[in-house]
Amino acid sequence: MLDLISLGECMIEFYCDGSISKAAHFHKAYGGDTLNTVVAAARLGSRTGFISKFGEDPFAPYLHEEIAAEGVDLACCPAVQGFNGLYLIALGEKGQREFTYYRTGSAAATLGPEELDAGYIRSARILHASGISQAISRSCRSAVRRAFQIAREAGVRTSYDPNFRPKLWSSNEAREALEEILPSTDIFLPSSPDETRQLLNTADAREIDGWARERGAQIVVIKEGEGGCVVVEDGMPRRVQSPSDIRVVDTSGAGDAFNGGFLHGLLRGLATLEAAELGAITAALKIQGRGAVRSLPGREAVAAAAQDKSWATRAVEFGSR
């Protein structure tokens, strides 16, 4: 049995310093929001898998080797004709980011509901997807909906992060997809204030929590970047602060890292608030390095970072298997 499976897109990442137009050298890596999440969880000790499609281009062997080396199961990531999406990311001196994407029509975007392996989904304890998983194509949106239905019918918990990207679709389309998937969602992981204001017209934690629970969510954690996150239980918001004294290098994928740490905590039996603390540590460590995946912390680093926190003992215990 796998602990956590995610569905989505993997892309080649080329990152540089300074502007993309003036950069003479780029460093190759890879990333993708839902993939980042399962790699983050895998580095903490969860057994993870990924559902996608890889294009048979020169990058395919690299992707398979690198992701498999992280311990992520790729049994449901067939190689097909086509190409893998690619993005360029530049980082300025003050941490500002510049993205350029080449993903339209990628192999991952051709995934459809009829290609899902229901048995594989049923083998997981949690299935995770995002708004990006839905936005890259109509067939992927249908695949996410069907995957969540299969999971729900089998008693597998579902996790969803809206991860709204205006370049992929409008706020109205994203809101429609959100309304579509929430009745099949157990764990809702939005970001605030920008995302929730665009999708829900509010940044109030109680309102966000109430809105999501009315539609079926059982656990709601609202990510607030450097402000940590807010967990609402029994109508009472409780804030989890991010660790202090963090040197921010690259915030790309920070929310994905949080998701991975948080879901790993739930899988290890932590209460929601404790799992959120774990997610906050994971995200804080991730943003101290470059790359969506390469800077994700391992179990030892997370445990060490937790030593100065009140939840230090729990942070050590969650990683044992």
Cα–Cα dist 3/63, whole Å: 22
What is residue 310's predicted lDDT score, i.e. its pLDDT?
47
Give the DSSP H or E segment for 6: strand 2-7
- Mean confidence (pLDDT) of the chain: 93
pLDDT value for 97:
80
- Global pTM exceeds 0.75: yes
Confidence check: pLDDT of 321 > 90: no
Q: Provide the CA 268 distance to its chain's centre, in angstroms.
A: 18
Structure tokens at 153: 């019918």
Strands 54-55 and 72-76: unpaired
pLDDT by residue (tens digit) across 175-209?
999 999 999 999 999 999 999 999 999 999 999 99
State the burial class of residue 217 (Cβ atoms within 10 Å of its Cβ: 0-12, 13-18, 19+). buried
**Mean pLDDT, rounded, for 222-248:** 90
pLDDT reading at 96 higher than 70: no
On the 0-12 / 13-18 / 19+ scale of CB atoms within 10 A, 69 is: exposed
Beta carbons of 72 and 40 less than 8 angstroms apart: no
Q: Summarize the confidence of residues 6-24 as an average pLDDT.
A: 93
CB-based contacts of 272-275 (< 8 A; 24+ apart in sequence)? 272/219, 272/221, 272/231, 272/233, 273/231, 273/233, 273/238, 273/240, 274/311, 274/314
pLDDT value for 312: 37
C-alpha closest to that of 63 among 256, 274, 270, 293: 293
**Active-site annotation, residues:** 256
pLDDT, tens only, 57-77: 999 999 999 999 999 999 999
For the cut 70, the answer to whether the pLDDT of residue 314 exceeds it is: no
Report CA 249 to chain centroid distance, whole Å: 19
Residue 136: per-residue pLDDT: 97
Q: Class of the 2-9+33-83+106-317 domain?
A: alpha beta
Neighbours of 198 (CB within 10 A): 16
Percentage of residues of the chain with pLDDT beyond 90: 84
Alpha-helix residue ranges (DSSP H) falling in the chain: 33-44, 60-69, 118-122, 131-135, 138-154, 171-181, 194-200, 205-214, 254-267, 272-286, 299-305, 312-317
* Choice between 93 and 236, residue whose per-residue pLDDT is larger: 236
Both tokens of 321, joined, read: 């298997």
Which has the closest alpha carbon to 84: 108, 114, 113?
Answer: 108
231: β partners: 221, 238
- Asked if the peptide bond before residue 193 counts as cis, ω within 30 degrees of 0, the response is yes
CB 113 within 8 A of CB 134: no
